[in-house]
A and B are shown apart, each in its own frame.
Chain A
Amino acid sequence: MSKDKLTDYDATASGNLDVGGVSVAEGMLPSGVNNAIREQMSHLKDFASGTTGIDVLSLADDDASHSIKLQAPSAVTADTTFTLPDGDGASGQTMITDGAGTLSWAAPYGNRNLIINGAMQVAQRGTSFTASGFSLDRWYHQLSGGTSTTTQETFALGSEVAGCSKYLKQATSTGNDYCGLVYKVEDVKSIHQGKATFSFYAKGTNPAGGSYTVRIGRINTGTTFFDTPLNSTVTLTSSWQRFVYTFDVASFSGMGTIDNTSHVYISIHQPASDAGTAAWELNLTGVQLELGEQATPFEHRSYADELARCERYYVQQYAQTQTPAGGYMIVPIYFPTTMRATPTVSAVSAGSGNIAAGNQGISGLNSKGANFQVQSSANSNYVINRIDAYSAEL
């Protein structure tokens, strides 16, 4: 057999009787030596330039007792060239690809999940909800004519799913179209042109029509959908499963005005074409939206991290003051983080002191804080304790 490249060569010397068609067998003509060497040099050149490859690159240790080997997969579907970065990067960096074979050093991936509270840990408003409105932080409980209760549930120890210890349960006793859950990712530009992947873990029972709609839309301003990059379905079973949807995101061309109400609208709900009233139950956790076409493992964040992120959209603040008789007191309230917009205020526990609600209030609202003000009567000395909810949800 003709040995035309390095991988054709035999590890046994007697097995190499031909180099590129030139016989190097016992008794070969002297003129064949030149030709054989030239063939070998061309084989080496092909190897050096990458025209022909090798199966394994073995890097032996100093005494050649052990080695580290680099090897291509057994079946390579397309030629791939990796271009290494210049230098060794900084301590703690990791190597990443640009998707076209160029490798570079970068900080380790993190913060890739665009969903806040995807593990359903944070529940500032409470843990059980029956009315339309926000339920567990960032998750909107949408009735749309149905009747359901959304609760925060805890996995039994040892039965956690994807490392999540909590999940959201929407138990619907009377179904209706669009009844389900809604989540809004701030800034429509959070997912840009290319691929994006949405994934979640769920189990439960299905609406009358047998499935839910899984929809992701882009809203550049207000509430009008610019487009719907994902419009699919999911059918749940009684076992927890991960569901993955990879979809194409078009460019922002044609969107026109994009303001600070823009967002990515995500919903899992009873389909628009299904107004059946049958009961269903949706159990959900480990929700992740990320750029790219791979569903990476669910990105866990600590409760503190998730709470801090949630507080950009909703926070409860405590205020206390003592007002002298005939006095007027203004107490500044500083939010733990800058909120998305100037928030709406509603009392969680207003006036839990000895002053009438009409003589206390919130003013000077902005995205960073507010004023809590109290006015006491001429001959009274008042103490006031108050908790307010500040909401800057989309």
Chain B
Amino acid sequence: MEITSAQYVVMFGVNDNISATINGIKMTVPLDPANRHYAEILRQVAAGTLTIADAD
């Protein structure tokens, strides 16, 4: 899974989801550990190969 960007999206003052580009497709990834995309984002963050940018 190639993740080229990841940024938090804030709703009502809290992080609601992550806007990410995965395999070239822009996706909205929920903050659910059971979601395979979020699990992969967490894995890559832990491995130091990906950083989740703060929300604008």
Interfacial residues, chain A to chain B (CB-CB below 8 A): 131-133, 222, 259-261, 340-347, 361-366, 391-394
Contacts and interface: CB of A to CB of B under 8 A. Distances in A.
B6 interface: no
Contact of A342 (B11, B22, B23, B32): B32
Contacts of A260: 34
A180 B31 CA distance: 30
Given A341-B34, A365-B30, 11 more contacts: A261-B39, A342-B30, A342-B34, A342-B35, A344-B38, A345-B27, A347-B26, A363-B16, A365-B16, A391-B37, A392-B35
Contacts of A394: 36
Given A222-B39, A259-B34, A363-B17, A345 B23 contact: no
Interface residues of B, number: 21
Interface in B1-19: 9, 11, 16-17
A341 B29 CA distance: 11
Contacts of B47: none
Contacts, number: 55
B46 interface: no
A391 B30 CA distance: 11
Contacts of B33: 261
Contact of A341 (B17, B23, B32): B32
Contacts of B31: 342
A346 B30 CA distance: 12
A39 B28 CA distance: 86
A341 B30 CA distance: 9
Contact of A393 (B25, B26, B36): B36
7 closest cross-chain pairs (CB), A and B: A341-B34, A342-B32, A342-B30, A345-B28, A365-B30, A346-B27, A344-B37
Nearest to A132: B23
A43 to B, nearest CB: 68
Given A222-B39, A363-B9, A392-B35, A344 B27 contact: yes
Interface of B: 9, 11, 16-17, 22-23, 25-39
Residue from B30, B32, B36 whose CB has the most chain A CB atoms within 10 Å: B30
Contact of A340 (B9, B26, B34): B34
B11 A343 contact: no
A344 B9 contact: no
A39 B40 CA distance: 80
B11 A365 contact: no
A67 to B, nearest CB: 61
Nearest to A222: B39
A300 B37 CA distance: 32
Residue from B11, B22, B26, B35 whose CB has the most chain A CB atoms within 10 Å: B35
A394 B32 CA distance: 12
A341 B25 contact: no
Contact of B35 (A259, A341, A362): A341
B5 to A, nearest CB: 14
Contacts of B34: 259-261, 340-342
B38 to A, nearest CB: 8
A269 B52 CA distance: 34
B32 to A, nearest CB: 4
A362 B29 CA distance: 10
A347 B32 CA distance: 20
Contact of B25 (A342, A346, A365): A346
A364 B33 CA distance: 16
A107 B25 CA distance: 46
A394 B27 CA distance: 16
B35 A364 contact: no
A345 B38 CA distance: 12
Nearest to A371: B11
Contacts of A131: 23
28 contacts: A260-B34, A261-B33, A261-B36, A261-B39, A340-B34, A341-B34, A342-B30, A343-B30, A343-B35, A344-B22, A344-B27, A344-B29, A344-B30, A344-B36, A344-B37, A344-B38, A345-B28, A346-B27, A361-B9, A362-B28, A363-B9, A363-B17, A364-B11, A365-B16, A365-B28, A391-B37, A392-B35, A393-B36
B9 to A, nearest CB: 7
